[in-house]
A and B are shown apart, each in its own frame.
Chain A
Amino acid sequence: MAQFDRNDDSVVVIVGSGAGGGTLGTDLARRGINTVILEAGARYEIEDFVNDEWASFGQLAWTDARTTSGTWRVHRNFPNLPAWIVKAVGGTSIHWAGASLRLQEHEFRTRSVYGGLGGANLLDWPITLAEMEPWYAKAEDRMGTTRTNNIPGLPGNNNFKVLEAGARKIGYKEVNTGRMSINSEPRDGRGACQQIGFCFQGCKSGAKWSTLYAEIPKGEATGKLEVREQCQVLHIEHDARGLVTGVVYADKDGALQRQKARVVAVAGNSLESPRLLLNSASSMFPDGLANSSGQVGRNYMRHTTGSVYAIFDKPVHMYRGTTMAGVVRDEAVNDSSRGFVGGYELETLSLGFAFTAAFLDPGAWGRSFTSALDSYDHMAGLWIVGEDMPQETNRVTLDPVVRDRFGMPVASVHFDDHANDLAMRAHAYDRGRAIYEAVGAVRTFPTPPYPSTHNLGTNRMSEKPRDGVVNKWGQTHDIRNLFIADGSQFTTGGAENPTLTIVALATRQADTIAGMMARKEI
């Protein structure tokens, strides 16, 4: 395994090892480029994962302090947990459920299609679906996405059976077990899904794609990739020309280290990536790195989410098998006659008993709440994933008071739902209820959004430097050897789970960075 000198200024440094950083690092290494991934979290392997929601949360989740504000309910119920994401090698690709849907054509040009919407800071992506299609194809192949590349779909579990029957009964057509990056048959050295049911806690069979075991080991095997765990980057340094020169990080013993670099790519998720850029302010860049537009940290999106759980008079056992076992796509279209722009997916979701208690209706108590839990094994559930509107005021800033153990200001997340988000969520709750009532639900619940798993948009991609932070290659407009490689590049969020697009962008970015390095442009 490679080990690079901290004074080696020829390496590419990547901050974060999730879907974006882990993919980018692996691809750069395969192209012969010396790469160091600095990961704030520790390295766990498949055998370390536990089928126990709270124990796993304690093991994997980012529980370092963050603060929140705004009218979103997450602020009220989980004021220090705006996001449910992972701090470990592999990042949130350990926790994700596997849904791998391409963004739709119109979702790359929402400003043109949706028009000016009051309060929304909509912008067209500087790339199109046509440009992304080959990269989506590569991503689906490397991730083993079902229903692509002749890979069969996964079998539906009980939770899906209920969703499918209800959805068809009310007239939905596009209902299936989804495009999932979970092996339905052995592929790429990993086995087939065993329907274990703890997808969020790290896949114990390795059937689900994660950079932890499906990418990073391949990168390491080239001898060109070094992953340093428990190394939290505190700021990025630059020279008098305004080019980045390396990063300062706290290592696993808390000692400060400097890793020099030829190129830096930031992939710490949409909360940590803007935090790092803002915390790297200098006299040359007083508002933070790559922030001449003032857009770093702004336009934070989290998808318009929510869940509908339903109780039946007969057993369901929704927790058996894949957590996200199927999808209804009929509402994913843009049809403003529904009273909102953009669309949403309905995907099965289940929580174990402990997390159902925590998330079904946070803060609730009494018999209305407990009688629902009494019917836990008769419950089915779905999750709404809809496009939310980018708003300049929804943003990640540095908390003025709270600092982490290294003295770095923590991320403070402000979020208010846009009127379009509220209208979409109400519509989706209603359709979710209709699905379940069509097959005999005796009681349904609108469950509020969980702490965010889809964190997007805080370093968004734009054609013009004044509108965003990075260009169509994820390269910052201001600093040519500084890149963003995670979901914070998203110009808008689309209605689809973001991981496939993150991987496709990272795969494409590796090609771009390698070419720029070969041409000595960076």
Chain B
Amino acid sequence: MRQSERASTGPGARLDRREFLKAGAAAAAIAVSGSALIHAGEAWGLEVRTLQPATVRTLILMARDIYPHDRLADKYYAIAIKPWDIKAAQDAATRTMLEDGVATLDGFAKARHRQPYVDVAWEADRVVLLRHIQDGAFFETVRSGLIVSLYNQHEIWPLFGYEGESAAKGGYIHRGFNDLEWL
């Protein structure tokens, strides 16, 4: 585990409840509204403080395109990306790295599709764009951070059939450690 994976986002990063704004119904997945991102479909909003809201929106979609799980709602990717806004507030170099990285990605998107990354409609096309930048520090920083900030969200574990903490429940000795019968 690189230091960046551990320190940048950290296990258990959460969106504060007060930072989820109530959002009305709307069509688009995630819309920028002032300094906030609004997800009408999932009824949440995210206040962005340091990065440009459009940058965070791009990072959230990029997170899904890097680690696509169709069973995960957008909010889990938003939770995974949110710590970067906090890190950017504390560290100008991080802020620059993220803003410049998204600008570069958008540059590739505009050159090929005449629109920014978030407006490229097909995942397959966006993945091609990510492959252009996958060896750079920006992509690797975002990707490696997600390993903890996405997959260590305990809320998503049941969606993958993982039961987490077990000792307090008495382990699995009476809860199916050897219940496999299909062999």
Seen from chain A, the residues whose Cβ lies within 8 Å of a Cβ on chain B are 50-52, 54-55, 57-58, 63, 78-81, 155-158, 161-162, 165, 193-198, 204-205, 314-317, 319-321, 352-354, 357-358, 363, 365-367, 369-370, 373-374, 376-378, 439
Seen from chain B, the residues whose Cβ lies within 8 Å of a Cβ on chain A are 1-3, 5-6, 11, 66-69, 71, 127, 134, 143, 147-148, 150-152, 157, 160-168, 170-173, 175-180, 182-183
Which single residue of chain B is at the shortest CB-CB distance from A378?
B161
Q: Does B11 lie within 8 Å of A55, measured CB to CB?
A: yes
Q: Does A158 lie within 8 Å of B160, measured CB to CB?
A: no
Chain A, interface SS category: loop
Q: A204-B167, A358-B151 are in contact. Are A80 and B183 (CB under 8 A)?
A: no
Chain B residues positioned under 8 Å from A157 (CB to CB): 172, 177-178
Known: A165-B183, A358-B147; 4 extra A-B contacts, CB below 8 A, are A54-B11, A78-B1, A319-B163, A363-B143
Which single residue of chain B is at the shortest CB-CB distance from A201?
B167
Cβ-neighbour of A376 out of B6, B148, B162, B180 (below 8 A): B162
Cβ-neighbour of A79 out of B2, B127, B152, B167 (below 8 A): B2
* 9 tightest Cβ-Cβ pairs between the two chains A and B: A377-B161, A194-B171, A321-B177, A196-B171, A204-B167, A357-B151, A353-B162, A195-B177, A158-B180
25 contacts between A and B (CB under 8 A): A51-B167, A54-B11, A54-B148, A81-B1, A155-B177, A193-B171, A194-B173, A195-B171, A195-B177, A196-B171, A317-B161, A320-B166, A320-B175, A321-B177, A353-B162, A357-B151, A358-B147, A358-B148, A365-B67, A366-B68, A369-B67, A370-B67, A374-B160, A376-B160, A377-B160
Q: What's the nearest-Cβ distance from chain A to residue B6, in Å?
A: 7
Chain B residues positioned under 8 Å from A51 (CB to CB): 164-168
Q: What's the nearest-Cβ distance from chain A to residue B148, in Å?
A: 6
How far apart are the CA atoms of A54 and B151 in the complex, in Å?
Answer: 10
Chain B residues positioned under 8 Å from A156 (CB to CB): 178
Q: Does A54 lie within 8 Å of B176, measured CB to CB?
A: no
| In the complex, number of A-B residue pairs with CB atoms less than 8 Å apart | 133
Q: Does B151 lie within 8 Å of A354, measured CB to CB?
A: yes
Q: What's the nearest-Cβ distance from chain A to residue B23, in Å?
A: 27
Q: What's the nearest-Cβ distance from chain B to residue A375, in Å?
A: 9
How far apart are the CA atoms of A80 and B4 in the complex, in Å?
Answer: 11
Chain A residues positioned under 8 Å from B68 (CB to CB): 366-367, 370
Q: A51-B165, A366-B127 are in contact. Are A80 and B175 (CB under 8 A)?
A: no
Q: What's the nearest-Cβ distance from chain A to residue B40, in Å?
A: 26
How far apart are the CA atoms of A366 and B128 in the complex, in Å?
Answer: 11
How far apart are the CA atoms of A366 and B63 in the complex, in Å?
Answer: 10
How far apart are the CA atoms of A366 and B66 in the complex, in Å?
Answer: 5
Name the residue among A158, A162, A377, A439 with the largest chain B CB count within 10 angstroms: A158
Q: A161-B178, A162-B180, A316-B180 are in contact. Are A352 and B3 (CB under 8 A)?
A: no
Q: A158-B178, A365-B143, A366-B127 are in contact. Are A52 and B2 (CB under 8 A)?
A: no
Q: What's the nearest-Cβ distance from chain B to residue A341, in Å?
A: 34
Q: Does B67 lie within 8 Å of A315, measured CB to CB?
A: no
Which single residue of chain A is at the shortest CB-CB distance from B1?
A81
Cβ-neighbour of B152 out of A354, A369, A378 (below 8 A): A354
Q: Does A78 lie within 8 Å of B2, measured CB to CB?
A: yes
How far apart are the CA atoms of A204 and B168 in the complex, in Å?
Answer: 9
How far apart are the CA atoms of A79 and B147 in the complex, in Å?
Answer: 16
Chain A residues positioned under 8 Å from B66 (CB to CB): 365-366
Q: What's the nearest-Cβ distance from chain A to residue B60, in Å?
A: 16
